[in-house]
Amino acid sequence: MPRALIHVPATAKKGETVEIKTLIAHVMETGYRIGVTGAPIPRDIIEDFVCTYNGEEVFRAKLYPAIAANPYITFFTTATASGTLAFSWTDQHGATQVQTAEIKVE
């Protein structure tokens, strides 16, 4: 299971714009590199990133081989209600990692 670092403010005022930061450990191997043995290193990348806020999709990104290793994605959303932000990263093999964070809206 790859590691991910997520930063979501613990509390926010209703209607406030909040910054979300995510960082996931992933090699993001392009498939264009040659290894020490001379054989190409197979492509291995994360292709999709989705964030849902209490079940509603608030952010989505498509990732391509030009994205550096350990993709760092930050974005903004509006704090509407207390609840859960769920982050999911899906790689090219279809494996998905989901991580969640709680936010309290006053």
Residues lying near another protein in the complex (CB under 8 A): 3, 5-7, 21, 23, 25, 28, 68-70, 72, 74
Shortest distance, CB of residue 6 to another protein, whole angstroms? 7
Alpha-carbon span 106 to 104, nearest angstrom: 7
Per-residue tokens: 39: 């054989």
Shortest distance, CB of residue 53 to another protein, whole angstroms? 18
Q: Which is nearer to another protein, 64 or 81 (CB)?
A: 64
Q: Which is nearer to another protein, 81 or 100 (CB)?
A: 100
89 with 60: CB under 8 angstroms? no
Q: What share of the chain is helix, strand, coil (3-state, %, to 5)?
A: 0, 55, 45
Shortest distance, CB of residue 4 to another protein, whole angstroms? 8
Q: Which is nearer to another protein, 81 or 98 (CB)?
A: 98
Amino acid at 54: N
DSSP 8-state code for residue 68: P
Alpha-carbon span 76 to 22, nearest angstrom: 12
Q: Which is nearer to another protein, 10 or 15 (CB)?
A: 10
Shortest distance, CB of residue 5 to another protein, whole angstroms? 5
